[in-house]
Amino acid sequence: MRGKHSLFYHILIFIIAQLVWLSLLGIWIYWYVSNYIVFEKVGEEVSPQLIYDVQNALPFILGLILLIGLSLITSLIFRHLNVQLRLTKLYDNFIGNVTHELKSPLSSIQLYLETLKQRDVPEDKRKEFINMMMKDADRLQDLINSILEISAQEKKKLFQDYQVFQADKLLKELIEESFNKFRVGKDSYSITGDAPCQIVAGKDAMKVVFDNLVDNAVKYSVQPAQIIVSLSCNFKKFSIQFTDFGIGIAAKEQKKIFGKFYRIYNKEIPNVKGTGLGLYRVKEIVKAHDGKINVSSEGEGTGTTFKIDLPVYTSIKKRRLKKLLKT
């Protein structure tokens, strides 16, 4: 349905542009012919100092107005076309990335199953194969869930179980879980600072935020990841600074990384897997918590810092608080 509306929109813009062109051409022809006829009839009697009345100037003024209108419509067409082309390119990249992400664990599961079917595998190897298949299945499930949840989030249909939490207790717990999930050793990260304040948050949603940040830090580090997490709060906001020492982000990329399907390519790590949805999902979750996220990096090879600000419980307006806790 959306595609039909888009097609109708393009056709309508095209028709309007053609009508403007034809109108402009007709007015200029009329203006030229009418003046030519006048000069043919009374050319010898006209004073050298010609005085144009409003009626003679009107076609010229209308022509200018239509020309400006045509320019605006043309620029609108090109802008819309440029956006559509960019989205199409991002969408194609997303399809390619998702296809690869789906194919890899499926191929792995298929290989293990064929091995179990065709060979007499020892019991210890059988258990190892089953564990590997379970991990690949979980990977597939996570990918499918993330795509479905983004769709639901954009349609404002994603349910979040918002509750009041002690900020530092909840976030330290979630961050530790994320580090364990991605096998980041205790000597590779530190969590500093205290945040003795309360926040309203969806626990599962915030877990997704830190899973994505840790995953990115691990994937975009040439050496084993080193991560520093700092917590702080004041009477208005609770802040988290998540710093890694990976490949960094160029200035021109920093405004783009939260876009849907956008991925950074770096020649030092050419085979990084992903769908380009992780940071987009992070941004949307933080936004749903009435928070803000921004990124800073001094450039390539200098590491990256993500800063998340969430409102503390006492600073949220009563109407908004009631709505969050009700959901």
Please tell me which of 64-78, 86-100, 111-125, 147-161 the model is most confident about, judged by mean pLDDT: 111-125
Shared domain check, 112 and 28: no
Shared domain check, 182 and 125: no
CA distance 310 to 321: 13
- Which residues lie below 8 Å from residue 249, measured CB to CB, with a gap of 6+? 257, 264, 295, 297, 299, 300, 304
- What's the mean pLDDT in 225-234? 90
pLDDT at 174 over 70: yes
Number of domains in the chain: 3
Percentage of the chain lying above the pLDDT 70 cut: 70
Q: Which of 64, 89, 114 is the last residue of a domain?
A: 89
First to last CA, the chain: 30
CA distances from 129 to 108, 137, 227, 257, 307 (A): 10, 12, 32, 37, 40
pLDDT at 9 over 60: yes
Q: Which residue has the higher pLDDT, 162 or 38?
A: 162
Shared domain check, 127 and 173: no
Write down the pLDDT at residue 35.
66
Cβ of 207: how many Cβ atoms within 10 Å?
A: 18
Shared domain check, 170 and 149: no
Write down the pLDDT at residue 67.
66
Instruction: Report how many helices (DSSP H) and strands (DSSP E) the chain contains, helices first.
Output: 8, 7
Q: Which of 89, 112, 140 is the last residue of a domain?
A: 89
Write down the pLDDT at residue 238.
93
Report CA torsion sign: 307, 308, 313, 315: positive
Shared domain check, 314 and 215: yes
Query: How does pLDDT run across 56-65, given as a tens digit for each residue?
Result: 556 656 666 7
Q: Which of 116, 131, 154 is the last residue of a domain?
A: 154
- For the entire predicted model, the pTM comes to 0.62
Shared domain check, 172 and 302: yes
Q: Which residue has the higher pLDDT, 212 or 27?
A: 212
Shared domain check, 83 and 57: yes
DSSP helix/strand/coil, 312: strand
Write down the pLDDT at residue 278.
82
Q: Residue 227: pLDDT band by 50, 70, 90 thresholds?
A: very high
DSSP helix/strand/coil, 185: coil
Shared domain check, 39 and 179: no
- What's the mean pLDDT in 3-25? 65
Shared domain check, 121 and 74: no
For residue 323, give the nearest of 160, 168, 106, 192 by alpha carbon.
160
Write down the pLDDT at residue 54.
44
CA distance 200 to 209: 15
* Residue 244 near residue 225 (C-beta atoms within 8 A): yes
Its domain, for residue 191, covers 162-326
Shared domain check, 120 and 13: no
Write down the pLDDT at residue 256.
82
pLDDT at 125 over 50: yes
Write down the pLDDT at residue 50.
47
